[in-house]
Amino acid sequence: MPLTATREDVRSLVDGLNFAEKVERSLGLIQQAYSEFGDGLVVANSLGKDSMAVWHLAKRVSPHIRNFIVTTRFKPRETVSFMNELVAQYAGLKVFKNDQPISDRLYATDPDKCCDILKVQPTRRAIEEMNVTCWVTGLRSTEGRTRTDFQEVEERDKGLIKLNPILIWHEREIWQYLALNRVPVNPLYAKGYRSLGCAPCTRITSDPDERSGRWVGTSKCGGECGIHTRPLKPDYQI
């Protein structure tokens, strides 16, 4: 059966399945997608805990599944070190970054534009250069207010399937999986961060919303950089 966009009741899956059932479901989704898309299936790794869980799941399905990292000039040094360790360990791990000049403090004056240049554009380049037909993300529906309407299988860009295999996992289940499988994580979590991004736009908060520390004090607070909401195919219109 081909993998097609779904309209499942995500909320009932979040609360209706236990940890082991979610792991099995995620592995099954990746397996099904890998059977259909083969080398066109690629994991996007943001170096956060969710990406590390998805990458580990994907490697269980096949060690040959490719993945890429998108990074920016503003990533915290801990994230850069963590990335460098992974790149040194995994030869096929590709890193995409946009070094074009931008105005000073664009992250403060126009964070949407900053994210578009530094995050969305390199993601588009990764999708194009790696001939991605199905990209795999670590997006979860319980992360925050902007993540409740996604599906496990989507086709937001025509010809590009987006697989969100851990969409229904709780935050604690991510930590459970990472601990049980001894998956390395970004050291910033030990400092109290729950969602990681660029240094100027990421804070530690005690708000229940997992993404509440992102873009604090801007209209983008708790929101999205754009890779999950903007078109990613080369024929996009800005």
Catalytic residues: 225
* Of the candidate residues 47, 52, 69, 115, the single one contacting ligand SF4 (CB under 6 A): 115
Which residues is 161 bridged to in the sheet?
Answer: 134
Residues 6-35 that bind ligand SF4 (CB under 6 A): none
Decide: is 83 part of the binding site for ligand SF4 (CB under 6 A).
no
Q: At 67, is the secondary structure helix, strand, or coil? A: strand
Decide: is 196 part of the binding site for ligand SF4 (CB under 6 A).
no
Q: How far apart are CA 45 and CA 68, in angstroms?
A: 6
In whole angstroms, the minimum distance from the beta carbon of 49 to ligand SF4 comes to 17
Q: At 199, is the secondary structure helix, strand, or coil? A: helix
Structure tokens at 194: 């729950």
Structure tokens at 236: 């996009």
Please give the full DSSP string across 98-126, using - where no structure is assigned: ------TTHHHH-HHHHHIIIIIHHHHHH
* Of the candidate residues 118, 132, 139, 174, the single one contacting ligand SF4 (CB under 6 A): 118
Number of residues that bind ligand SF4 (CB under 6 A): 13
* Of the candidate residues 114, 134, 166, 188, the single one contacting ligand SF4 (CB under 6 A): 114
In whole angstroms, the minimum distance from the beta carbon of 74 to ligand SF4 comes to 4
Q: Which stretch binds ligand SF4 (CB under 6 A): 1-9, 32-40, 46-54, 195-203?
A: 195-203
Using only C-alpha atoms, the chain has a radius of gyration, in whole angstroms, of 17
Decide: is 124 part of the binding site for ligand SF4 (CB under 6 A).
no
Q: Which of 118, 112, 133 is nearest to 40 (CA)?
A: 133
**Contact 36/30 with Cβ under 8 angstroms?**
no
Decide: is 47 part of the binding site for ligand SF4 (CB under 6 A).
no
Q: Which of 51, 220, 50, 44 is nearest to 125 (CA)?
A: 44
Decide: is 71 part of the binding site for ligand SF4 (CB under 6 A).
no
Decide: is 194 part of the binding site for ligand SF4 (CB under 6 A).
no
User: Is 26 or 72 the residue whose CB approaches ligand SF4 more closely?
Assistant: 72
